[in-house]
Amino acid sequence: MMRAGLVIAYILLAPVLGAFLDGLDRVVSARMQRRKGPSVLQPFYDLGKLFSKQLLAVNNVQLLLNLSYLVILMIAGSLLFAGADLLMILFILSTADMFLIMSASSDSSPYANMGAGREMIQVMAYEPLTLLLAVGFYLATGSFDVSVIMQQPKSAVFLMPGLLFGFMFVAAIKFRKSPFDLSTSHHAHQEMVMGITTEMSGANLAIINLGEYYEMVLMLGLFFLFFANKNWQSWIVAAVLCLVIFLLETLWDNVSARLKWKKVLYGCWTVTFVAGGVNLLILMLTH
């Protein structure tokens, strides 16, 4: 019952929470740059505006692929909040990303194509850590099931701080933050226009934005798993810490410049290997 409630809450509220966090991110970024910044509700206005616009398309399959991306992301997120298998969730997550890449390459447009290529690099960069993350949870709690992970007497973070660090590092890719915002970005970058989303407008773009909000909440949900245990108090702490992590990503976004793909790939792989791998090794030896 509670699971069904959570899933429904996720499907209904994730875009709201995501858009709110996006607005918060924009305001905080502006303040960091000594600007006033937009209203916190700006992303909501933008979404409304996008849906009211004329639908321009460059081909007939893009909308289909974008919608599939959104729905598959929603399924991945729902599974997480339903307490399903973590590894499967991650696999579905990368399948959803595949649809985004397909959608961008289907344009056969120079900028979108470049974005798609870079997105593939990014997926390749973050995927090892997410798999190790699932394995870490499995070792720490004895199950891939999110529902079991949540019922531990002690939070998983005490057993896997290295993985948490690694995940914070690569999560910037998923949040589309600097220095890893290779494939697309919330800021204007002349060298690749808008990357993946270059050819998307109106409702098409709104769908991608919605998808990103779902993904954002899903990622925060994964962070949540690190801190939550069976006591309800820990859930509050976890929620606060998730917000802190999110703001740290904003800070990092503002203090760093975009890197080249090689640095991104090898950087992520090295961090995965050192932080994630060592953490995992210790877990394996002690469990």
Partner 1 sequence: MTILLFLIGIPAAFAALFPFMRQQKARGVMAYTGAGLVMLTALAFLAKWLSNGARTVVLYPSTELVDHLMIGGDIILLCLIIFLSVRYKRVLPIIFSVLQTALVLFTEYTFSARLTGQAHIKIDWLSILMCLIIAFIGGFICIYTVGYMKGYHRHHKDVKDRQPFFFSMLFLFLAAMFGLVLSQHLIWMYFFWEITSVVSFLMIGYTRTEEAIDNSFRALWMNLLGGLGFAVAIYWMAATYRTLQLGDVVAIGAQLPIFCLAFAGLTKSAQLPFSSWLLGAMVAPTPSSALLHSATMVKAGVYLLIRLAPAFEGNVTGLVISSIGGLTFIAASMMAIAQNDGKKVLAFSTISNLGLIVGCAGIGVEETVWAAVFLMIFHSVSKSMLFQSVGATENTLGSRDIEDMHGLIITVPELAYIMGIGIAGMYLAPFGMLISKWVALKAFVDSGNFILVLFIAYGSATTMFYWTKWLAKLVSWHTPRDRVKDVTAKDEYASMFFHAMLMLVLCLLLPFIALEVVDPIVQGLFGNYTEVLSMDVLTTMAIMLVSVFLVPIIMFFASKAARREVVPIYMNGINAGDNRFFINSFGEKEHLYLSNWYLRFDFGRRHLMIPSVVLATAVLVLGFCLVLGGGV
Partner 2 sequence: MLHYDASSCNGCDIEVLDCLTPKYDLERFGVINTGDPFQADMLLITGGVNSQTESVVKQLYSQMPEPKVVIAVGICACTGGVFKECYNIKGGIDTVIPVDVYVPGCAARPESIIDGVMKAIRILDEKRAAAIKDRR
Chain-centroid distance, C-alpha 171? 6
Question: Using the rule CB under 8 A, which residue among 188, 257, 285, 286 binds partner 2?
Answer: 188
Both tokens of 191, joined, read 């060298």
Q: Give the x/- contact pattern for partner 2 in 148-187, rule: CB under 8 A.
A: ---------------------------------------x
* List of E strands, 99-213: none
Going from the C-alpha of 52 to that of each of 20, 43, 86, 196, the distances in angstroms are 20, 14, 37, 22
The rounded distance, in Å, linking the Cα atoms of 245 and 161 is 14
Is 120 a binder of partner 1 (CB under 8 A)? yes
Phi, psi (rounded to 5 degrees) for 26: -65, -40
49 binds, among partner 1, partner 2, none (CB under 5 to 8 A by kind): partner 2
Size of the site for partner 1 (CB under 8 A): 67
User: Cα–Cα distance between 67 and 51 in angstroms, integer?
Assistant: 14
Asked if 61 touches partner 2 (CB under 8 A), the answer is: no
Could you say which of partner 2, partner 1, none residue 46 binds, taking C-beta under 5 to 8 angstroms by partner kind? partner 2
Interface residue with partner 1, options 4, 9, 41, 61 (CB under 8 A): 61
The span from the CA of 62 to the CA of 52, in Å, is 19
Which among 14-22, 81-89, 201-209, 264-272 is the span making contact with partner 2, rule CB under 8 A? 201-209
Choose, by CB under 8 A, the member of 113, 141, 155, 183 that binds partner 1. 113
Q: How many residues does the chain have?
A: 287
Instruction: Let me know: does 241 contact 162? Beta carbons within 8 Å.
Output: no
Taking CB under 8 A as the rule, does residue 45 contact partner 2? yes
Taking contact as CB under 8 A, which single stretch among the options 15-23, 70-78, 180-188, 222-230 is the one that binds partner 1? Answer: 70-78
Do residues 70 and 214 make contact, with C-beta atoms less than 8 angstroms apart?
yes
Binding site for partner 2 (CB under 8 A): 26, 30, 33-39, 42, 45-46, 49, 52-56, 187-190, 193-194, 197-202, 205
